[in-house]
Structure 1
C-alpha cells in the first residue's frame, strides 16, 4: 500500500510540476529575475505548496500516527546552522543560474536531454562530494 501511495504522490507531484511549467527553466528564470521581465505566475505554485504543507501539519497534529507508518517522520533539527545557510545559498544559485531544481531536472532528461544530462551529472557529483566529505569528517 505504501508503494501505491508513493507512486500516486509522485505522479501528482510530476503533474503539478508540468502543469505549473516548473519544468520549463525559462519560466523559472523569469520568476527569479525580478529586475527584468518578471513572471509572477509561480507565486501560485509556491502558495499552493505552502498550503499543502500546512494541511500536512494540521493532519499530523490531529492524528497520533500516520495511516501507513508507525510514526511521523518530521525533521528534528530546529536551529539554523552554517550547513543550512550554505546549502540554501548553493541551491538558490544553482536554481537561479540553470532554472532547474532536482524534480524538474529529472524531467529535463527527456524534455531537454543535453541540459538535463549536465544538470543531473552536476547534481550527482555534488551529492557524492557531500557524501564523502560528511563521511570523512572534514568540515
Structure 2
C-alpha cells in the first residue's frame, strides 16, 4: 500500500483521496480531515520532540523522538512503530514493527518535501496519515538542518 502527500495537501492511499490537510504556518501543526473526522496533528515538547494526533481534544496517536540530534521516532498507533533514517547519508526513512522493516518513506519528487510512504503491511487509514505526517515533519527538519549546515560553512 502507498500513502502519498499529494499536491494541494491531499493525502492519497493507493491513488485514492483519503484525507485533506490544512498545514499551519505556526510551528508544526496541521488539521487533517479524514472522512467526517477533523484531526489535529501537532508538535509538543521541548524542541518538538513529541508529535501527537488528537480527535475532539483526545490524543489517540503519538510519536517521540529518541534524542535531540537523532532521526529516530517511536510511533504509537495501537502498535509501536519505529521510523528512522535508512542510512548515514540517506534521505529515505525506514518504518519498522518489532524490528522488522515494513515500509519506506521517500520524497514524492526531486524538488518537493512531500513524503510518500510505501508499506508491505496494511495500516489503518488514520494511522497511515499520522505516520505520513511524522515523516513530513522529519523530512522538513532534515532539509532545514542541511540548509543551516550549508550556510554555516
TM-score (structure 1 length as normaliser): 0.27
Q: Which has the higher strand share?
A: 2
Q: Decide which structure has the larger Cα Rg and report it.
A: 1
